[in-house]
Structure 1
Amino acid sequence: MASPKAGSLTAEAHARLRGDILACRLIPGHKLVIQDLCDSLGFSLGAVREALSRLTSEGLVEAEPRKGFRVAPITEEELQDITNVRATIESLCLENAIRNGDLKWETGIVSTLFELSRLKLQDADDSARVSEVWAETHRRFHEALVAACDSPWLLRLRETLFTQSERYRRVSVPLDRMGRDLHGEHKAIADAAIARDVVRATAEMRAHLAKTTRILIKAGVVNQHLT
């Protein structure tokens, strides 16, 4: 049986690697050499192996027989599939939340939207990357929208799809040369949700998710490993 300390180190290694993959610091398709990861992260071989195993189950890493591990690549087919399924699940969660939401739910949406509006999207040290603070607040905003949903399974599916979408969304930021009004998109969803307008809220959510997909496909970076 693994000791509590070993479990903690595995969890920390998993969190570090997961964060690097979602932020695209470990780019799609990148080969993951376990010893190199141990050296760079300072974790034991066992902790890194277990972390990679967990990431494989999450679909963020691929295990290749006799070849080791690599960051899961991004493809247009997967992007389209994730977008379509996520739009459906997000819409179901949002409809449920609108039906069950109270003043506390509305307050959560308004407060996280305001917080998000006050943050810079790009990292201060690297404009080609998303700020980690913005990314975390963005996650909390989308969670606030569906916080009143009373279906644990819908919320679980939504969380999985959000994570899978995150790599694609982050890659799209430096590619959108025309710029996009992210605050306007978020506000449109929030306003419709608080107004209890299910049709408008879900339509705005679908449009919001589809825009990232269009940016990536237009830029031609999907179906590449970005190496």
Structure 2
Amino acid sequence: MTDVSDSRVSLNETAYRQLRGDIIACRLAPGQRLTEKQLAADMGFSVAPLRDALIRLDHEGLIRTLPRKGYQVTPLTPKSIDDLFGVWGLVGPELIRLGLRQASQAQLDAAREAFDGLDALSQEQGGSPSVLLDIDVVNRTFEVLAEATGNTYLINFFQQLMGDMSRIRALLLTSDRTSAATGLADHWVRHILDEQDVDKAAEHARRYIEDVHQHVLRVIIRWPSVMSSEVSVLPPR
């Protein structure tokens, strides 16, 4: 009985991770409509684990449930992207300031080692590693800094932002050759880990986030999956 239960949990988790990875990497485009039957045929899972995955992703805000119509990958719109960067520009530098101030040496070393591993993989493959690996390392670094703050609200808030920030990064890396070609050794997140002055690190992050914000707004018109996304207006309560 235990084996059956463990198998089901494992299958559910596998379906969740695969579906989440497809959304984060934008292989499932923002605004794309989904059905359980279609996903089962495309991914090779039965409906039960996919339904569990879709419920989890709905809770994370990456999927929207459409009553009697199936599901939709949560759209990214010009306004939602602008709003997201506005919030990240306020929260990100402070998360970095507090995280660097309170992180242990072991936590900082673990974050640096993740970038070293990404560099090594890039050299082995003779080019840039996959977009998902790049995003995973950046996310893990910010998770370390968020956890180091010890602030539950800040940790939860970062986790809410992480999915959409990852999707924007994937779109940027896959559609903008300049961003994709940036050397990992020069990655701005790596630089803030090595900065001795936490206030300077936070200010560097603020400037970088604003630069990327403006860059994304300039290139957003080349992202059909974003520009064609539906904009839903909720009725007043």
Q: Which TM-score applies when normalising by structure 1?
A: 0.80
In the TM superposition, residue 19 of structure 1 has moved relative to its aligned partner by 0.8
In the TM superposition, residue 97 of structure 1 has moved relative to its aligned partner by 2.0
Give, in whole Å, the separation in 1 of the partners of 2:203 and 2:121. Answer: 26
Change (3 A) 1:99 1:148: same
Partner of 1:176: 176
Change (3 A) 1:44 1:105: closer
| 2:193 corresponds to which of 190, 201, 205 | 190
Indicate conservation of the 8 Å contact 1:27/1:225, yes or no. no
Identity among equivalent pairs (%):
27
| 2:37 corresponds to which of 35, 38, 41 | 35
Are 1:103 and 2:94 an aligned pair?
no
Change (3 A) 1:120 1:77: farther
Give, in whole Å, the separation in 2 of the partners of 1:130 and 1:209. Answer: 22
Give structure 2 stretches of 5+ with no counterpart. 231-237
Deviations 1:76-117 (A, max 9, x none): 111122222233333332222233233323423433343344
**179-188 vs 53-62, greater mean Cα deviation:** 179-188
Amino acid at match of 2:37: Q
In the TM superposition, residue 18 of structure 1 has moved relative to its aligned partner by 0.6
| 1:19 corresponds to which of 2, 18, 21 | 21
Partner of 2:227: 223
Partner of 1:7: 9
Indicate conservation of the 8 Å contact 1:116/1:138, yes or no. no
Indicate conservation of the 8 Å contact 1:113/1:187, yes or no. yes
Change (3 A) 1:94 1:103: same
**50-59 vs 109-118, greater mean Cα deviation:** 109-118
Deviations 1:124-149 (A, max 9, x none): 89x8x944333322322333444522
Partner of 2:150: 150
Change (3 A) 1:214 1:118: farther
Amino acid at match of 1:190: L
Count of aligned pairs: 219
Change (3 A) 1:185 1:49: same
Amino acid at match of 1:168: I
Give, in whole Å, the separation in 2 of the partners of 1:29 and 1:190. Answer: 35
Give structure 1 stretches of 5+ with no counterpart. none
Deviations 1:143-181 (A, max 9, x none): 344452222331222122122210011001133344456
Q: Which TM-score applies when normalising by structure 2?
A: 0.77
- More helix per residue: 2
Indicate conservation of the 8 Å contact 2:118/2:133, yes or no. no
Amino acid at match of 1:160: Q
Deviations 1:170-219 (A, max 9, x none): 00113334445662422432232xx1x23221122223333443333212
Partner of 1:64: 66
Q: In structure 1, the residue corresponding to 2:227 is in which secondary structure?
A: coil
Give, in whole Å, the separation in 1 of the partners of 2:27 and 2:5. Answer: 30
Indicate conservation of the 8 Å contact 2:115/2:190, yes or no. yes
